Amino acid sequence: MIKIYHNPRCRKSREGFAILEKSGKEFEVVKYLDEVPSKEELKTLVQYLGIAPIDLVRKTEAIWKEKFKGKTLTDDEVIAAMAENPKLIERPIVVNGKKAVVGRPPENISSLL
């Protein structure tokens, strides 16, 4: 089952959602600001994405700048920061099986379909 970690207030996330709708495939929507992913779920996402946890962080968010910018954090500390502050998670994330992409640009999603 395809899954999208979605923020309806984000234009790129809405564009990614639209790509999935147009695909005609079934998919699950996780509004990750309401249903915050656990640390384990975030670790799995990072693994499926094939990136370092820091690469999933929205570094322009005020929370990041105020609390974390300029600090040297371990991967576990970055994961914890995203679990505690889900606004920091880059979006949208689309998962299909054990592969995932960040939908920035939204066209990245097509590679999973």
- Each residue's pLDDT, cut to its tens digit, for the chain (113 residues) gives 999 999 999 999 999 999 999 999 999 999 999 999 999 999 999 999 999 999 999 999 999 999 999 999 999 999 999 999 999 999 999 999 999 999 999 889 999 99
> Which position among 2, 10, 54, 113 bears the catalytic label?
10
Number of domains in the chain: 1
Structural domain range at position 52 = 2-112
Q: What is the pTM assigned to this prediction?
A: 0.94
Distance of CA 65 to the CA centre of its chain: 19
> 10 catalytic, yes or no?
yes
> For position 78, what pLDDT does the model report?
98
| Residue 34 Cα distances to 85, 94, 101, angstroms | 11, 17, 21
Query: CATH number, domain at 79?
Result: 3.40.30.10
pLDDT for res 5: 98
